[in-house]
Amino acid sequence: MMNLIYTYQPLFDYFLLAVGFAYSQQMVLRAGVFSIGSAGFACIGAYAVGILVKNQGVHPLLALLLAVVIGCVGGFLLSIPLARLRGVFQAIATLAFVQIVVSLCLYFDDLTGGPQGFNNIPKLVQTWHLLLAVAVTIYFMYVISRSSIGRAFDALRQDETVGATLGISIRKYHMIAFVLSGALAGFFGGMQSLYTYSIEPEMFGFAFLVAALTYIILGGRGTVTGPIIGAAIMSVLPELARPLADNRQFFQGALMMVMVAFMPHGVFDGLVLYLRKRRAAARDKTFKEGGHGSTGS
Amino acid sequence: MAALVLNNVSKRFGGLLAVSDVNLEVPPGRITGLIGPNGAGKTTVVNMITGLLKLTTGNILLGDRDITTAEAHEVAYAGVSRTFQNIRLLPEATVLENVVIGFHVHVKSSLFAQLLGLPSSLRESPKLFERGWQLLERFGMTRFADHPAGSLAYGHQRRVEMMRAVATDPQILLLDEPVAGMNDVEAAELGTVFNELAASGIGLLLIEHNIRFVNQLCQKVYVLDSGAMIAQGTPQEVMHNPAVIAAYLGGKK
Amino acid sequence: MIAQQLVNGLVTGSVYSLFALGFTLIFGTFKILNLAHAGVFMSGAFIGYFAVLNGLPLWLALVLAMIGAGLVSYIVELTAFATIRGSGQIEFTALISSIGANLCLMSVAQRLSNTKVLRFPFETFPVAFYELGPVRFSFLQIIILLVVVVLLAVMMLYLYKTTFGRQIRAVSGNERVASLLGVNPALVYFQTFFISGALAGVAGILIGLSFNSIHFYMGEPYLLKAFVVVVLGGLGSVHGAVVAGMLLGIFQNLAVAYLPSALTDTIIYGLLFVVLLVKPSGLFGSEGVQVGVARR
């Protein structure tokens, strides 16, 4: 039994980190912002925390707090130029942002270790830390989701113009989405840094971006549970697909194409929408059969 | 309640003058009509009021507040609400959720409280849904509360949009062809609702093609043709105006 | 020295242009970012490599790479894009689908190459140099320039002079109207994706020859550069892709000669970011780029 736990614990840990990054990606997508820049903030957070804790001896909690602050400020700053763009242009702009961050990490190699990576970071984060972090994150995600912020995000995602005419300030709420996304990515980037002993810029490049996006595609972007499902699928899949060995990437690619074609809302959101339709149809049926209020007889 | 006043409002798109020198007033507690042939610029006027288009000339006042350059969400907070010509409901949301979005301008809890899940925010959401439910009861739509908004019949979708617009508790309600595609019975039902809304003090601007409907409901009608105001007055006055007849039947004599 | 860098840059740039041209064709016509373009580019290199390996002459390998990559591109359209047409938010879903298709292509290539870097057999391409003043051209560079110029000329002719080309531009404007006017959208999809793929395939084999290395992830850096070229040149603009591609190639070569490569990348992507802010439609694009809800 213990052996089983030991074998799968790293998988579980990476799953937890994935959930954190998935929420970061979800925040912006939920508000209708086509940003894929979480990777950039994760990179900044990871290096900031790694450097501060290892080189400067800063207390990890303080370093993580700083990562959150950097993520917030960075998200806010990024939201300003991106307010003028929409759709694929936002995507390309945030992609450029990620590339800039990665390139700068490679360039300032005195500080970051360059392409060789930043190594020997003390492993201060254990599974239970990650579990706690994710639990707290889920709490915040849930609370925000049920609040007016969550509703505003949903409205803007579905029809920006309608949202605006109902009093939702697009600039303000997009900015909030960016700030939250940056904060989450920065924080979990820092957590990753304190978990994996070493980090390198390429960890936060194109592959990271694709992974974060995939969690949301698979799980869904409108609910709190969706990203967890998406991250879970992506974490478990490589294990299940072990017999497929070298074909794993092919499988992942095929899965993405199939999901997008048949379940564009993701597994969980798709389920929620389906159940909603079923219930509505059932209610229609009973209404028609029951007749319009049998008051007298 | 304040009146909505447009003074010398024009809109130019490059070489095209879509709306020229329009003066109109939407007084509270009344239903005002805006009619005109297709392409006359009626929706352009609405878009200028609601913050989607910049005015080329003129100004727009709500009471003594100038909303000429106010952004769309600011216009909503000022108390102007609208429905859309082609119904724009949030497709993924339920009917109830669509209506509750309309309460956004009434949200009291701070962003801070919402982000942290403080009691003020947690208490507010159920209250908003309760208010939404009451609105559904008022419009007789409670059985559709959990239906995806996109799955409703056309007439019901129009009602949902109405509820959403009313949810903001506006001073002025702009209705862009609200009974298009409806039969007389459905239109009459909606007409009753409009009268109730006006009676409660809201100023309605009714943009419609259905002349009979407009004549039944409106105390004053404005007629737009090719961007310019060609007539205004009571429905009777306007209907007998030769310029109006020419505009609708086409051709200048 | 500068002249040499300029020439080198022109050659690099011409390949960027070739790659970006196919990319911008799809982006401009169908408004989707086809990230599988990287995989198509790579497949051109692979097809060319295996052709040469099986004893075929190089010119034939080039032709096969072109045709093969064109077909691969069309397969991508059938599997990744045709399946999602008609659903909402096509920009988002198409991007994801293309990422998936790209992963599939890379996976196949990885298997075919056993995750090794492939190199052309030793005498595939004659190594020769020519001097013209202060500048030294390699035979390969000349061939690359020639091939690119010819292909670009053919492309221009095709898009602007033939019926098919007009149809592509019609569908790009409004698909439903175009089909009402007698244009067959399916045929247009085929042509657009085939041509786009063919161009990428040629670029792939040319790059494979230039660096004598072919590997399954060779497409990614070009994809990232393609974003810069496409935005700088303007959405869907053929002229834009060519000009911006050349400019980028020249800039990159000059910059790399005097600056560390990481800084060069920073500048290039920084430039991309600035262009998006200041003039998202790029140098030659006239497309109304969405700007969100605001008083207009």
Across the A:C interface, residue pairs with CB atoms under 8 Å apart total 143
The angle that helices B119-138 and B154-167 make with each other, rounded to 10 degrees, is 130
Can you tell me the ipTM of this complex?
0.92
Partner C contacted by A91 (CB < 8 A): yes
Rank A271-275, B77-81, C3-7, C149-153 by mean pLDDT and report only the highest.
B77-81
Segment A275-288, tens digit of pLDDT: 888 888 888 788 77
8 Å CB contact between A29 and A216:
yes
pLDDT at B253: 38
C291 and chain B: CB distance < 8 Å anywhere?
Answer: no
Distance (Å, whole) CA C227 – CA C265: 13
Cα separation, A218 vs A255, in Å, equals 9
- In the predicted model, is pLDDT for residue B136 greater than 90? yes
What does the mean pLDDT of chain A come to?
89
Distance between CA C247 and CA B61 in Å, rounded? Answer: 52
Optimal mutation site among C23, C35, C81, C99, interface A, most CBs of chain A within 10 A? C99
**Sequence spans of domains, chain A:** 9-286
Residue B53: predicted pLDDT: 92
Confidence grade of residue A260 (pLDDT, cut at 50, 70, 90): confident
pLDDT computed for residue C290 by the predictor: 61
Interface residues on A facing B, Cβ-Cβ cutoff 8 A: 139-140, 142-144, 146-149, 151-152, 154-155, 158-159, 161-170, 176, 180, 222, 265, 273, 276-277, 279-280, 283, 287
What is the enclosing helix (H) or strand (E) of B200? none
> Is residue A253 predicted with pLDDT exceeding 50?
yes
C186 band by pLDDT with thresholds 50, 70 and 90: confident
- Condensed to tens digits (0 to 9), the pLDDT of residues B46-58 reads 999 999 999 999 9
| pLDDT above 50 for C182 | yes
Measure A8 CA to nearest chain B CA, in Å. Answer: 33
Whole-angstrom distance, CA of residue C26 vs CA of residue C43: 18
pLDDT, mean of residues A207-223: 89
CA distance C24 to C41: 14
Q: Which residues of A touch B105 (CB under 8 A)?
A: 166-167
* Residue A170 near residue A164, CB atoms below 8 Å: yes
Residue B54, chain C, CB below 8 Å: the answer is yes
Check: CB of residue C264 under 8 Å from CB of residue A56. Answer: no
Instruction: Judge whether B199 and B169 are in contact, CB under 8 Å.
Output: no
| Longest CA–CA separation in chain A, Å | 89
Distance CA A45, CA A186 (A): 4
Q: Measure the CA–CA gap between C214 and C119, rounded to whole angstroms.
A: 6
Contact yes or no for C292/B72 (Cβ under 8 A): no
| Chain C positions in Cβ-Cβ contact with residue A99 (cut-off 8 Å) | 224, 265, 269
**Residue C276 contacts A, CB cutoff 8 Å:** yes
DSSP count for chain C of H helices, then E strands: 11, 2
Which B residues in the span 80-119 are in contact with C, Cβ-Cβ below 8 Å? 91
Q: Residue A110 is which amino acid?
A: D
Q: Taking a C-beta distance cutoff of 8 angstroms, is the pair C198, C66 a contact?
A: yes
Which are the contacts of B201, defined by CB distance < 8 A and separation ≥ 6?
B1, B28, B29, B171
Radius of gyration of chain C (CA): 19
Q: Where are the domains of chain C?
A: 2-278
What is the rounded average pLDDT for all residues in chain C? 86
Contact between C163 and C183 under an 8 Å Cβ cutoff? The reply is: no
Residue whose entry in the numeric block shows the structure tokens 């102007």: B80
Q: What is the structure's pLDDT at C171?
A: 65
For the segment A13-33, what is each residue's pLDDT rounded down to a tens digit?
999 999 999 999 999 999 999
Residue of A nearest to B148 (CA): A277
- Residues C67-117: tens digit of each pLDDT: 999 999 999 999 999 888 877 677 788 888 999 999 999 999 998 888 888
Is C296 in CB contact (< 8 Å) with chain B? yes
Report how far Cα B75 is from the mean position of its chain's Cα atoms: 12
Neighbours of B152 (CB within 10 A): 19
Query: Is the pLDDT higher at B49 or at B242?
Result: B49
How close does chain A come to C133, measured CA to CA in Å? 36
Q: Is A251 helix (H, G, I), strand (E, B) or coil?
A: helix
- How far is residue C245's CA from residue C232's CA, in Å, rounded to a whole number? 9
Asked whether C28 and C235 are in contact (CB, 8 A), the reply is yes
Q: Return the pLDDT at A293.
A: 44
A23-62 pLDDT per residue, tens: 999 999 999 999 999 999 999 999 999 999 988 888 999 9
Q: What percentage of residues in chain A have a pLDDT greater than 90?
A: 58
Could you tell me which chains touch chain C, where touching means 3 or more CB pairs under 8 A? Answer: A, B
C130 Cβ neighbours under 8 A, 6+ residues apart: C136, C137, C138, C139, C142
Total-model pTM? 0.91
Most A CBs within 10 A among B71, B115, B162, hence the mutation to make, goes to: B115
pLDDT of residue A1: 64
Contacts of A172 (CB under 8 A, 6+ apart): none
pLDDT of residue B252: 43
Token readout for C257 is 């000669």
Chain CA centroid to CA B146, Å: 25
The phi and psi torsions of A58 (rounded to 5 degrees) equal -70, 145
Contact C100 A254 (CB under 8 A): yes
Residues 6+ apart with CB under 8 A from B179: B158, B186, B187, B190, B191, B208, B210, B213
Q: At C24, list the tokens.
A: 């911008």
Say if residues C155 and C164 touch (Cβ distance below 8 Å): no
* Domain C2-278 annotated CATH 1.10.3470: yes
Q: Are strands B203-207 and B172-176 parallel, antiparallel or unpaired?
A: parallel
The per-residue DSSP string of C196-265 comes to: HHHHHHHHHHHHHHHHT-B-TTTHHHHHHHHHHHHHHH-TT-HHHHHHHHHHHHHHHHHHHHHS-HHHHH
Tokens of A177: 């989405």
Q: Which residue in A has a C-alpha nearest to residue B94's C-alpha?
A: A276
Task: Tell me the CATH architecture of domain A9-286.
Answer: Orthogonal Bundle (1.10)
Shortest CA gap C23–chain A (Å):
14
Domains annotated on chain B, with CATH: 1-79+170-253 (3.40.50.300), 89-167 (no CATH)
Interface contact C293-B52, CB threshold 8 A: yes
C31 touches chain A (CB under 8 A): yes
Tens-digit pLDDT profile for residues A81-99: 999 898 888 999 999 999 9
CA distance A27 to A141: 9
A124-149 pLDDT, tens digit each: 888 899 999 999 999 999 999 999 99
- The residue among B54 and C281 whose pLDDT is bigger is B54
